Each structure stands twice: as structure tokens, then as C-alpha cells.
Amino acid sequence: MLEARRGRPTWERRLLARLLSHHLTAFVIPGLEVAHACGLDPEAAGLSPAATPRHAAVLLLVGEVPPSLAHAAAVVYAQMPRPRAILAVGTDSPPPLPGASVTVPAMQEDLVAAVQQLRAVMARNAWSTELSAFDADHAPPSDGASPGKHGAQTEANSHDMHLDRGTAGGVHGQTPPLEGVDKPHHDQAEMAAGHAMPPEPGTHQHHHHLMEEHGGHVQPQEVDHVRHEQEMDHVAHTSAGEDPGDGHKHLHHREHEGGFMSMVMMTQDLPRSPDGLPMEWLEVPFGPLFPGLPGGLALTFTLDGDTVTRASLTQSAVARGLAATWSGPVSGFPTRFARLDPLAGDAYRVLAVRALEAMRATTVDRTLAWSCIGVMERQRALSHLTWLASFAWLLGDRWLRARAISLLQRLRGAPDVDSVARLRPGVDRFVDRVRSMPPLRWRLQGVGGFEGADTARLRGPVARAAGGDEDARTGDPLYHDLGFTPVLRHGADAWSCLEVRLAEMRQSLDLMVAAGALSAPDLDTSMVRDGTGMATVETPRGRSTLHLTVSGGLVQTVDLDAPSTYNMELLQTVTFQQEVSDALVGVVSLDLSPWELDR
Amino acid sequence: MTVQAGALALFGLAALWFGMAVFRTHSMVRSAFSLLTTMAALGGMFLAMQAEFLGVLQLMMMATEMAIMAIFMMMYMMDPGGLGQMEMTHQKRLSLLAGIVGGLAGLALAVASAWGPVASRVPNPARQTHDLGIELLGRSMLIFETAGVSILVAMIAATTVVISRRHE
Amino acid sequence: MNLWLLLLILAGAYLVAVIENWVVTGRLRLLAPLLAGIALLGRESLVPRLPDRLLFETAPPLLLAAAILSMAVLPLAPGTVLVDLATGALFVNAALAYVMVAVVMAGWGPDAAYAMIGGWRFLGQLVAYSMLIVMPITAVAMRAQSLVTTAIVSSQAPLPNAVAQPLGFLLFFLAAMAVAFLPPFDLPTASDLADGVFGEYTGARLAILRLARLVLVLSLATAVTVFYLGGWLGPLLPPAFWTIVKTLAVAAVMLLGGRYLPRTRSDHLLEWSWKLGIPLALVNIFWVGITLLVVQR
Amino acid sequence: MTPLQQYLVLLGLVAGTTGLVVVLHLIARSLGPNLPEPDKDIPFAGGTLSPKPAWVRYHVHYYGIALLFLAFDMEMAFMYPWAVVFREVGLEAFLDMGVFLLILFLGLLYGWSQGALRRQ
């Protein structure tokens, strides 16, 4: 199946289709980082990653795409120009997306084969006369009311969490009051439906100030923007007018006879920038699907020009989307629990194993503990490398990205401790070189700073980049035997975060070698029938604690305390009054995993 | 000669047309770009009149300067995209009058002035640039240095405007 | 002959595309840019809703025209130049100014936030690089006593400007990269804005934009060659060969340089160019003035 | 070529570029019409359908430098003819322009000292 262009497949179109099938660009869902974490390299398979769906021919679905992300994926898919196709790797294409053209398991060889297959499909079917328009989930504009569909969508997102100064409890700068911002945020679905549904005047928060000036008299007027949009939309569809909104009926002019309204009065309600200029602020979504940011992280910036005045996270589209599968027999629990986060699956597997083990045993099983350390440190190194690859994408540093991906693959392919030990010199050279690159330092130093933030609440590398001696490993006697000391930096900015992660990567290789085990921890769960268990491990993103209750051999309750929930509180701090790209660097430096956020 | 006059007329009309477009649009940015096009058309007129240095200079400087004007228009005017179809004109009668009077005055000046004999030969463009340089360093040296001082004044004024903003 | 020169420009742009592809993917594939271009032409060319259609449509051809015009006055060999304008060096600047106009138009046109931020970013970039283009060119013109590009090349017969005016060469080279928004100065088309100003363009329009960008890179590489590397001057081989080789080498260095660097911050770019670049450009003019007074050649 | 012919060639290049663009558009159009679909024409915004137009009063943070830039741009108009005759006139030209540039540099230093070269 392929979404073709409209037209009879004439010979020249067939020829063109053959040629264009050779150059395929892909928009990756949930994100490139998931592909890398799954051991896939789309680029090596011949799919160059696109930064926007406009430049993509293939929607590449990787790993498990939770149903809650499907709507965003469908929107992105709708924005791709035809001919377009879906390639599903290790997953199915969830509705409302159409079925995938090619579906393969999540292996690099399969991906390579799938791309060849996709080329053949594209070469054959790029043009067709029998087409149906793809509709992300909207009712056709004509009937206007399809309450079932919209109702469901709205409800699905109605518990959108809006993290702002009121609820986050994090550190905030001072933001001047902005009209409309403190009102509840309209959920995405309703906004999305805005142009299909009849507009409800007064319910949409964004009003556009319109000024009419006539004979020296000025009258500000608020116009419901969505309705306004709709009229314009209509025009845009029907004519390619020269003027935006040509033929659009003029809004009635009200003449105000009484007094003269000065520019000062007109602009007094507008938000003020630090330099005192009244400007309109613009809310720009950067996610849930924004290449460079972790897929699923629904970040929204309120921008004053190119500067962020406020950052908010809507409910993470992927947050614990698979939590429903957790309860069930104990035996498969670690595997199921590992699916929580494709970016650090092994870390959560280890966490689950340790919690179950705590339930079972009175004495520590040292073999198990060593293999837990080996797996966890391997995961840490992989996770940091994956992060580095995304980070380099955002920075536009091609060399860094290519090196990170190549190291990632070599480490992932390393079958035993010896081959890991052989990787060590290469990693050393890489780390030293990255740390000694002045342009990178200039780029990152002072960006995404969170100096003075409450480090006690932070977790993982982020806390350690601010000098916080926060590491669950320090309390572990086995780590103590290995001579482990946490990596600390004091810059509390993006550069320190990078340095901590680079140093930890190197350290993790040593720990892996010292632990001498790489295989997944094997736990005999048949003994675990009833009880409660608790475990704390240092995942790549920080300390994570799991409480489990099991009865009758079934997992009953699962209570996870994950690091990203805490580090997310820095969101305002690292973005406030930063230029967009710096704000994004700050957010990515926190290495939030949208998968483990519980909201 | 005919080609030259034709090109001159063409660019002149284009300049006028885009000059009008500046006020005929609701979009601030489009208005700024219209003005840019007018200025570029003036550059074309200079080229048609074989004033190469002036023409190219006009083309170069107006592109950047009008674009910088665009950012101020966008920062200070309501609804810079023109989505609201906002009426941008005001004091219509007065401005109409001023426009007519100004236009007539300009026309009268153009007609009444003694322009002197038509230049039959234009010095070649390289010569023009050279002569301009000699002029700058010779007779017009003081004017040239005064221009430097006025640019300095403009820079100081710009700085003052910028920093006064911050202290507010 | 003119037609041949135009075809040569297109061929040069294609070679630049091959080099760029090589730098990006690490593989040297001669057909890749052609296939990428065809793939773009074969796809739908979408127009976002409510655009400023005029600006949206004007931007791609304007960018292409600006790049081609700036290329038109740069010589391939003595006497082999599309237009040997008396104010050639100035005209290059004039044409390059419209690169910014086109990018800002492409940013504003689609009414999309990412693109708009990218467009205004590029205007800021112009404020940073523009002086570093014009001031070094003035110093070059001082030596050549002319704005004619062919005369500028001839003036370098004793010593190329890259050696005579190293400071100007360095500044011009960096500024040229910024004009062509090559990494690390690719602020308007940054990955942190989902390709920014190019982001809303698809199909044929995107193909034109990409072509324009390639011609632009070629043009700036040629400008560096003509103004600083002695253009066609070189021993033994035919003059055109030297221009082509030097130009491609410069283009390769420009493209390769960005591979190892993270994108510059826009505020750093402005700060460095005004607090360091412009004073250095003035020093360069001063230096060239002194050497010309003393050495007289 | 006379200067006028040169200008005509330049104009021809602009026309030729337009022609090339038109041809490319025609080729693209001959390959079939766009299929209108819902959401297809909405700009990409990270997988959301943002109903808001982006055109607002956009705060450009470099306006301070932009103003100084205008002054410098103006000054370049004098530099070109000066550069051409520099060697011919010699020391006098050097001193003239030295004074001129010094004045300008003072302006830059003033702006710098007052913090106009910062993001506002």
C-alpha cells in the first residue's frame, strides 16, 4: 500500500517513479533516538532522516508506537507530500494511520531489505487514478458534526497537564502577565478540530487584537481568531489570491467618536519584553514529534520574537502508554516492564529484576548482582551515546553525530567484555576530542544554565552537572568494591551536562569490564508468589525506584519513581529568556525521557 | 537610445506601481518589500541612464536597508501580517491634498527647471567611479568628512534610542 | 559562448552538490544529487494555507536569480566572463544582498512559525556578515585600483591577495560561508527549526531553492577564488582550469568545515562580527593602505 | 560589449532564471495535480495542528546592532570610489579615509561601550 499521486501512470511517470524511488527521505516516529536505541540506523539503510514531514517521503515507524502518539503521527503523515509511504519496523501502523507499505521486524538487515522492497513499491505505484484522501481523524468539513469521533479524541486528551508556574513548583523567572496565558490551555485535539468544527466564539483563548484607525480614531477590537481563520482558510482553498485573504469580507469598521486612543493605550495590554517593548507573544509547539527532541515530548514555547518566555509540557503523548500491560504473571514482568522506555529498556529490566529479587531472597545473589551491573552500565553507555547523537543533530554537528552513531553500533554489537575493552581506546580518543573542541564549548557554555536550582530534587547526570553528589550507585557495596566514584561537574549548564555524560560513558565501559558480565540478568521467578519488593537503581537518567506488590504469582501494583519527572522541573529555568535554539539545547541537555514521565 | 528610454520608462512605471503598492496592502512586511522593489526599480533607472555606480549602489544598499526597515515596521505596527485587513490609511483628505500638491510641485520643478543640454556622451562606468573618487578626495573632501560626522551623530542617536529603551 | 558559461555554472553547481552529498553522507556518489532533484520534482509541491502567496512564490526564483547574477560578473578566464561590469566587485555585493531578501521572504511567506523565526534570524545574520563582505572587498579594490573583477585578478599576478591580505581573506571566507548559510552558519535552515525557511517548501519549489543554494555556494567559492586566490592565474595549465580547480577546492573546504562544527549561536555571530570582525576588517584596510603606500604594487 | 548591452544581459539573466523556474513548475505540474487533503496545507508544528497564524508583532532582538549597521552601510558608499583612486592619490587619500573611518570607529566604540551591541 502506498499513498500515490493522482494521475494515470503514463510511461514518463513510471520512469520518474523508478528514479525517485532511489532517493528516500524518512520522518521517524517516535524519533531517531528510538531507532538508534533499537539498534537501527535508517541512514545506513538508505533512508536519510528529514527534519520536517514536508521533506519526507517515508514515515518510518520504529519500536512500539503507543496509540496516544498515533494522532500526532497521523497529522505528520498528512503533512507529507505524495507519493508517500509508511514503513513499520517492529511495530504495526496504528489507526488512524493507513496500513504500512512494508512491515518488518526491528533488525537492521530487515530494515535494509525493507527499504529495497519499499523502493520497488514506490517505483510501481507512485501514480494512481484511484485514490482516497487521507484524513487524520477529522469529520469532513461539509457536515461539520461528527461528535463521536471528536468527543473521543477530546476526551482522550482532556486530562492534558499544563505545566506552568502554578503547578510545576520549579524555579521560575519573572514573566510579565500575559493575557490569556493563565487560562486553561485548550487541548490539542480541539484546536486541531478548529477548522472542521463550528467555532465557539469566546472559548478560544487566542484573540487577535485588531486595530482600526480611521480619521485619527482608533479602536481595538478583538476578533475570534479561529473563526477568522476559517474564513481565510476558505479563501485560500478556492483561490490563489495575490493578497492574503483576497476577497475576504472586511470586518465591519466601528468608528469611535469619543476620544483618541493612543499607541500607548493600545499596547498597554500586550506583554512586555525585558527591554520594555510591547510585543505579541507566540505559542509555538516543539513536539510531540520534533526531530532533535525526544519523540513524544510535547513541548510548547511561548516566544517573544525568538526568545522563550515560557515553556510548558503538555501531557507526554507516550507517558507510560504501556502501563496497562504491567500487571500479570511475575515470570514475564521484567520483559514487560522493560518496554516502558525504549530509550533505556535494559535499565528498567534490571530495576524489575532487582525488585523481584528483593522480594525473594534474603541473601544477595552475587552473580545476579554482577550481571545487573554489567547490563546497567552497558545501557548507560548506550543511552548516553544515543543522547549524544540526538544532541548533535540539534546542534547541527555532523561529525559528532556520525561518531556517536558509529560508536553506538560498535558497542551494541560487542558480544563480550573483551570486545568492550577493545573499544575503550577509541572511546577515549573520541571523548578527549569532543572535550577539546573550543567551538562546541563556546556553543554550550552558559546555555541551558540551572545554577542555583535546587539540586537536591534533581537526579542523575543533570544533578551531577551541578555538583550534586547524587548517585544511587554510591551506596551499593559492589560498586564500592569496584572503586566507583560519581563523576561531578559544577558548571550547571549544557556543557557540564555533556562533560558528565562523556565521562560517565568512559566510566561505564570500565565498570562493564570490571563487572565481567554483559548478559541479561536471569532470575528464577518461580519462587516469587506473594509479597512486596522495592529496588532503587541508577538508570542512565538518574535514580529510579520501583515498588512492587505481588500476590498469587501475579503482579498487582507497580509504583515507579522515575528521574525525568524531577528533572522536568528545570524546564522553565533552562529556557527562560533564552533564544529558541539555546532553549532547545537546554531542554535536550536534561535528557528527559517522555516515556517515563507519569504525566 | 530608444531601448534606453523604454527601459527608463519601464523601471519608472515599476517604481511608481510598487510605490503605490506600499500603501495598497494590509501587510506590513509586504509593504516594506514593495518599497524595496521601488528602490530596486530606481536602481534600474540609474542603470538605464548609464549611471552604473549609483545604480548598483542603490540596488545594494536599498535591499539591506529596506529589510531592516521591515523589522521595525513589523515590531511597531499592529497586525504585521495584514490578516485583520486593517485600514492603514488615515487623515485621508489631508494626505490626498498633500499628495496632489507635492506631486504638482515636483512636476512643476521638473518641467520648469533648465536641465541643460542632453549629455551626448557618457563617460564609461569605470571612469565614473574613478572621477567620483577624485571628487570625494578633492573638491568635496569636506562634504565627505561632514558626512562622516553626520553618520557618527546618527550612530550616537541610534545607540541612545536603544539604551533608553532598556532603562525604562 | 554565454550559453556555455551558463551551462558551466550549472555543471559547477552539480559538482558542488556532489561534494555536499559526499560531506553529508561520507560516500562519493555522482548520481545522488540528480536523483534527489528528480525525487523533489516528482513530489507534490504544496502551498500552506493562508500564505503570503506573492512572497512565498517569489522567494525561490529570487534566490536563484541573486545567485546567478552574483556569478555572472566573476571571470572564468581572461575575457571569459558573462558580464564584465565596470563595477563588478560592487555588483557581487548587490546581488548577494538579495539572497537575504529572498530568505526573509521565504521565512515570512508560508505563515509558519519555524520558517518565520528562521527568516528573521537570517536578517540578523546579514547584519553580522555584511560588513565583512564589503570591507575586505574594498581592500581588494584598493590594490587593483578598480572594481572590475578581471582587473582584480590581474592585480594579483605578483602575489595573490590571500597572502597579501591574509586578514581580509579569512574574514571574507567566513563571511562568504555565512552568506550561503552553510554550516556552521546555517541558522535560517537550522535543524532546531525543522529546516526553518526551507521547511514549508516541497516539490518543485524546494528543488529551485536547493538549486539556488548550490549556485550560491559556487558563486561564493568563485568570489573567494577571484578576489583572493588569483582566479585564473597559475602555471602551465589553461587559465579556466585554474579557476575551476580553485573554486571547487574552496567549495569543498567551505562544505567540509561545517562538518566538524556545531551551529553558531546567533548572538555569538553578531557579537563576534561586530566586536572582533569589523575592527579586524578596519585593521585590514589600514594594513593594505600602508603596504600599498610603501610597496606600491 | 557596451555597458548598456551588459545591463541587458543581466536583465536577460533575470528573465532566463524566471523562465527556468516557470519551466520547472510546468514540468512539476505536468506530473499531476496535488490531491487536496485535510491538514495537508497546515504548516508543520511538531505533529500538532496549531490554528494560530505565525504573523505577530515579532520581537527582533538585534535591532540595536541593526541601527548601527545602517550607519556602516551608508559609509560603504564612500569607500568604493575611494578604494579605486587610493593608489593614484596616495597619502592624502589614506589620511582622508583614516579620519573618516576613525570617526565611524568612534561611533562603534560608543555603541559598544553603551551596550548597543548586545541582544536587547
DSSP letter, residue A323: G
**CA closest to B66 among chain D residues:** D70
In this predicted structure, the answer to whether residue A489 has a pLDDT above a threshold of 60 is yes
State the smallest CA–CA distance between residue B57 and chain D in angstroms. 7
**Placement of cell 559544577 in the chain:** A490
Contact assignment for C191 to A16 by CB distance below 8 Å: no
Q: Give me the sheet containing A531-539, strands edge to edge.
A: A328-329, A554-561, A542-551, A531-539
Q: Which of A60-64, A524-528, B54-58 has the lowest mean pLDDT?
A: A524-528
Contact assignment for B87 to A213 by CB distance below 8 Å: yes
pLDDT given at position A182: 34
Contact assignment for D41 to C48 by CB distance below 8 Å: yes
Amino acid at A224: D
Which of B81, B99, B134 is where one domain is finished? B81
Contact assignment for C32 to A23 by CB distance below 8 Å: yes
Same domain, B14 and B75: yes
| Domain assignment of residue B6, yes or no | yes
| Domain assignment of residue B97, yes or no | no
> What is the Cα–Cα distance from B62 to B46, expressed in whole angstroms?
13
In chain C, residues with a C-beta closer than 8 Å to the C-beta of B124 are 86
Contact assignment for A195 to D51 by CB distance below 8 Å: yes
Instruction: Place A267 in a pLDDT band, splitting at 50, 70 and 90.
Output: low
Please indicate if any CB of chain D lies within 8 Å of the CB of B4.
yes
Contact assignment for A291 to C193 by CB distance below 8 Å: no
Same domain, B20 and B75: yes
Provide the ipTM. Answer: 0.90
> What is the Cα–Cα distance from A433 to A441, expressed in whole angstroms?
12
In chain D, residues with a C-beta closer than 8 Å to the C-beta of C295 are none
Closest CA to D19 of C1, C68, C43, C74: C68
Please indicate if any CB of chain A lies within 8 Å of the CB of D115.
no
| Domain assignment of residue B24, yes or no | yes
CA Rg value for chain D: 25
Please indicate if any CB of chain A lies within 8 Å of the CB of C29.
no
Strand, helix or coil for residue B10: helix
pLDDT given at position A204: 36
**Triad D82, D87, D89: Cα angle to 5°:** 70
> What is the Cα–Cα distance from A314 to C122, expressed in whole angstroms?
30
Give the residue ranges of chain D where pLDDT is below 50: none
In this predicted structure, the answer to whether residue A216 has a pLDDT above a threshold of 50 is no
Closest CA to C294 of D90, D95, D81: D90
DSSP letter, residue C274: I
Contact assignment for C190 to A581 by CB distance below 8 Å: yes
In this predicted structure, the answer to whether residue A265 has a pLDDT above a threshold of 70 is no
In this predicted structure, the answer to whether residue C242 has a pLDDT above a threshold of 60 is yes
Contact assignment for A82 to D58 by CB distance below 8 Å: no
Interval A499-503 mean pLDDT: 93
pLDDT given at position A236: 37
Strand, helix or coil for residue A494: helix
pLDDT given at position D51: 65
Instruction: Place A257 in a pLDDT band, splitting at 50, 70 and 90.
Output: very low
Torsion angles phi and psi, residue D39, rounded to 5: 70, -10
Sign of torsion, CA A335 A337 A343 A344?
negative
Interval A545-557 mean pLDDT: 84
The answer to whether B156 touches D107, Cβ cutoff 8 Å, is yes
| Domain assignment of residue A229, yes or no | no
Contact assignment for D57 to B78 by CB distance below 8 Å: yes
Top mean pLDDT of A132-141, A569-578, C129-138 is at C129-138
> What is the Cα–Cα distance from A89 to A116, expressed in whole angstroms?
14
Q: How many CB pairs under 8 A join A and D?
A: 131
Q: Which domain does A27 fall in, by range?
A: 5-128
Contact assignment for C192 to A23 by CB distance below 8 Å: no
| Domain assignment of residue B100, yes or no | no
Q: Which of A154-158, A476-480, C67-71 has the lowest mean pLDDT?
A: A154-158
Q: How many CB atoms lie within 10 A of CB A298?
A: 29
Mean pLDDT, chain C, whole residue set: 91
In chain A, residues with a C-beta closer than 8 Å to the C-beta of D34 are 6, 81-82
Same domain, B70 and B130: no
Question: Can you state the angle between helices A494-515 and A580-589, rounded to 10 degrees?
Answer: 20
Listed in sequence order, the residues at least 6 apart from C24 whose beta carbon sits closer than 8 Å to its beta carbon are A398
Instruction: Place C63 in a pLDDT band, splitting at 50, 70 and 90.
Output: very high
Instruction: Place B79 in a pLDDT band, splitting at 50, 70 and 90.
Output: confident
**Placement of cell 543511552 in the chain:** A383
Q: Which domain does B139 fall in, by range?
A: 125-168
pLDDT given at position A157: 35
Identify the residue among C177, C192, C266 best suited for mutation to test binding to A, counting A beta carbons within 10 A and taking the highest: C192
pLDDT given at position C262: 92
Q: How many CB pairs under 8 A join B and C?
A: 64
Q: How many CB pairs under 8 A join A and C?
A: 154
The 3-class secondary structure across chain B, one letter per residue, is CHHHHHHHHHHHHHHHHHHHHHHHCCCHHHHHHHHHHHHHHHHHHHHHCCCHHHHHHHHHHHHHHHHHHHHHHHHHCCCCCCCCCCCCCCCHHHHHHHHHHHHHHHHHHHHHCCCCCCCCCCCCHHHHHHHHHHHHHCCCHHHHHHHHHHHHHHHHHHHHHHHHHHHC
In this predicted structure, the answer to whether residue A194 has a pLDDT above a threshold of 50 is no
Q: How many domains does chain B have?
A: 2
Identify the residue among B54, B59, B122, B132 best suited for mutation to test binding to C, counting C beta carbons within 10 A and taking the highest: B59
Same domain, B63 and B1: yes
| Domain assignment of residue A108, yes or no | yes
**CA closest to A138 among chain D residues:** D38
Which of B81, B106, B135 is where one domain is finished? B81
Sign of torsion, CA C243 C244 C247 C249?
negative
Q: Which domains does chain D have, with CATH numbers?
A: 3-113 (1.20.58.1610)
Closest CA to B56 of B119, B128, B140, B133: B128
Instruction: Place A322 in a pLDDT band, splitting at 50, 70 and 90.
Output: low
Interval A268-293 mean pLDDT: 79
Which of A128, A162, A184 is where one domain is finished? A128
Same domain, B70 and B142: no
Instruction: Place A245 in a pLDDT band, splitting at 50, 70 and 90.
Output: very low
The string of pLDDT tens digits covering residues C280-292 is: 999 999 999 999 8
How would you classify the pairing of strands A531-539 and A328-329?
Answer: unpaired
Chains near B with 3+ CB pairs less than 8 A apart are A, C, D
Give the one of C204, C274, C290 whose C-beta lies nearest to D24's C-beta: C204
The string of pLDDT tens digits covering residues B1-42 is: 788 889 999 999 999 999 999 888 888 888 899 999 999 999
Residues of chain B numbered 114-153 and touching chain D (CB < 8 Å) = 124-125, 129-130, 132-137, 141, 144-145, 147-149, 151-152
Give the one of D48, D51, D56 whose C-beta lies nearest to A75's C-beta: D48
Instruction: Place A264 in a pLDDT band, splitting at 50, 70 and 90.
Output: low
Give the one of A13, A76, A287 whose C-beta lies nearest to D31's C-beta: A13
Give the one of B71, B160, B163 whose C-beta lies nearest to D63's C-beta: B71
> What is the Cα–Cα distance from A511 to A505, expressed in whole angstroms?
10
In this predicted structure, the answer to whether residue A32 has a pLDDT above a threshold of 70 is yes
In this predicted structure, the answer to whether residue A233 has a pLDDT above a threshold of 50 is no
Give the one of C24, C45, C111 whose C-beta lies nearest to A398's C-beta: C24
Give the one of C108, C134, C207 whose C-beta lies nearest to D24's C-beta: C207
| Domain assignment of residue B104, yes or no | no
Please indicate if any CB of chain D lies within 8 Å of the CB of B17.
no
The string of pLDDT tens digits covering residues A133-167 is: 787 765 333 333 333 333 333 333 333 333 232 32
| Domain assignment of residue B162, yes or no | yes
Closest CA to A232 of A208, A215, A214, A254: A208
Chains near A with 3+ CB pairs less than 8 A apart are B, C, D
What are C108's three cell numbers?
A: 515570512
In this predicted structure, the answer to whether residue A240 has a pLDDT above a threshold of 70 is no
Amino acid at B155: M
Identify the residue among A275, A312, A580, A587 best suited for mutation to test binding to D, counting D beta carbons within 10 A and taking the highest: A275
Closest CA to A173 of A539, A480, A577: A577
Contact assignment for B83 to C50 by CB distance below 8 Å: yes
State the smallest CA–CA distance between residue A512 and chain C in angstroms. 30
Contact assignment for B78 to A248 by CB distance below 8 Å: no
Please indicate if any CB of chain A lies within 8 Å of the CB of B84.
yes
Same domain, B77 and B136: no
pLDDT given at position A160: 34
Please indicate if any CB of chain C lies within 8 Å of the CB of D9.
yes
Interval A434-457 mean pLDDT: 86
Contact assignment for D107 to B151 by CB distance below 8 Å: yes
Same domain, B72 and B5: yes
| Domain assignment of residue B16, yes or no | yes
Which of A83, A105, A128 is where one domain is finished? A128
> What is the Cα–Cα distance from D113 to D107, expressed in whole angstroms?
10
pLDDT given at position A208: 36
Which of A128, A159, A193 is where one domain is finished? A128
Q: How many domains does chain A have?
A: 2
Please indicate if any CB of chain A lies within 8 Å of the CB of B93.
no
Contact assignment for B33 to C98 by CB distance below 8 Å: no
Listed in sequence order, the residues at least 6 apart from A400 whose beta carbon sits closer than 8 Å to its beta carbon are A388, A391, A392, A434, A440, C262
How would you classify the pairing of strands A217-224 and A127-128?
Answer: unpaired
**Placement of cell 581592500 in the chain:** C139
The answer to whether A580 touches A306, Cβ cutoff 8 Å, is yes
Please indicate if any CB of chain A lies within 8 Å of the CB of B21.
no
Give the one of C24, C38, C183 whose C-beta lies nearest to A19's C-beta: C38
Mean pLDDT, chain A, whole residue set: 75
Percentage helix, strand, coil, to 5, in chain C? 70, 0, 25
Buried b (16+ CB within 10 A) or exposed e, C43-80: bbbbbbbbbbbbbbbbbbbbbbbbbbbbbbbbbbbeeb
Strand partners, A51: none
In chain D, residues with a C-beta closer than 8 Å to the C-beta of C146 are 84
pLDDT given at position A372: 85
| Domain assignment of residue A260, yes or no | no
Q: Which of A14-28, A65-79, A172-186, C50-64 has the lowest mean pLDDT?
A: A172-186
Which of B81, B113, B148 is where one domain is finished? B81
| Domain assignment of residue B120, yes or no | no
Mean pLDDT, chain D, whole residue set: 87
> What is the Cα–Cα distance from B164 to C1, expressed in whole angstroms?
58
